[in-house]
Amino acid sequence: MTTTRSLRDEVKNVLDYLSNAELTLYTNPVSMSATGVAWHAHKQQAEFLITREHTYEQYLIWVENGSYSALLRDASLLQISYEVRDGKIVAHRLAYVPCPCIVSQDLLDALLEEGHSIDEIVSLCEHARDVVFRSPIRFDYDAANAKPGHPASHMTINSPDCRIACVAPMHVLRFVDFVYRNFYPKLWSAHASFFAEAAWRHIGDGVIVNDERTHLHMAWDTRATATSAPPTRRGPRGVRSYR
């Protein structure tokens, strides 16, 4: 059984580690309601999304309002939120939003020490050559709205219409492990013992259906535990078979 309190504690533990290990510039306090876990924003915002597309303006609004769980060392964002009903997770939004421009770490640290805010620093890059095209990646889970073309658990990248089916809802540590493993490999290696536990953390049973399974999808072991890790099963020619 999952409760918002236990889920809040798990999210907080992950964010506390990232903060204490200096893998973030700032982490927002974790908010908890009767049905959900998210972040405490700096400002109240009428609309979380100003557009379904990922834009420079959207990023700046999120930074200005504090609409994130963690601000990473390169000014990228992590957004972590879950919804719980009757002891089960029924929805989540786990997003990695890269900073839309390249800012050197030394310059970023210096400007922050001078009292400049992140949105002020990044807004200086809007028309500069250092603007980069990097897509946010979001793992969503919404069982109530699942339908053909809209898997209950899916990854969105590049376009709001892109929904790549995922085998199950995703644990917060597995999400953070995915981000650091793929986008910050040196930091991931330096903290491998922390991220190693992600392989045994899960929050729900598999939800992928047969027609989704026949197409390209994301899969991981949803049943293994740290105390009883099963041997890796492999299919023909060494291809791993996911349960």
Residue 85: phi and psi, rounded to 5, are -140, 135
Query: If pLDDT is split at 50, 70 and 90, which confidence band does 204 have?
Result: confident
> What's the whole-number mean pLDDT along residues 199-204?
83
Q: Do residues 79 and 61 make contact, with C-beta atoms less than 8 angstroms apart?
A: no
Structure tokens at 183: 């986008």
The pLDDT tens digits of the residues spanning 119-163 come to 777 776 655 557 788 889 999 998 888 888 788 888 999 888 888
Q: Do residues 164 and 154 make contact, with C-beta atoms less than 8 angstroms apart?
A: yes
Of residues 160 and 212, more confidence is placed in 160
| Residue whose C-alpha is closest to residue 217's, from 146, 129, 153 | 153
**Residue 120 burial class via C-beta count within 10 angstroms: exposed 0-12, middle 13-18, buried 19 and up:** middle
Angstrom CA distances, 241 to 52, 201, 238, stand at 35, 19, 9
Q: Do residues 102 and 132 make contact, with C-beta atoms less than 8 angstroms apart?
A: yes
User: CA-CA distance, 35 to 201, in Å (whole number)?
Assistant: 21
User: What's this model's pTM, rounded to 2 decimal places?
Assistant: 0.83
Mean pLDDT of the chain: 82
Cβ-proximal residues to 61 (8 Å cutoff; 6+ apart), any chain: 45, 50, 67
Angstrom CA distances, 184 to 13, 40, 54, 98, 105, stand at 20, 26, 21, 12, 14
User: CA-CA distance, 218 to 240, in Å (whole number)?
Assistant: 13
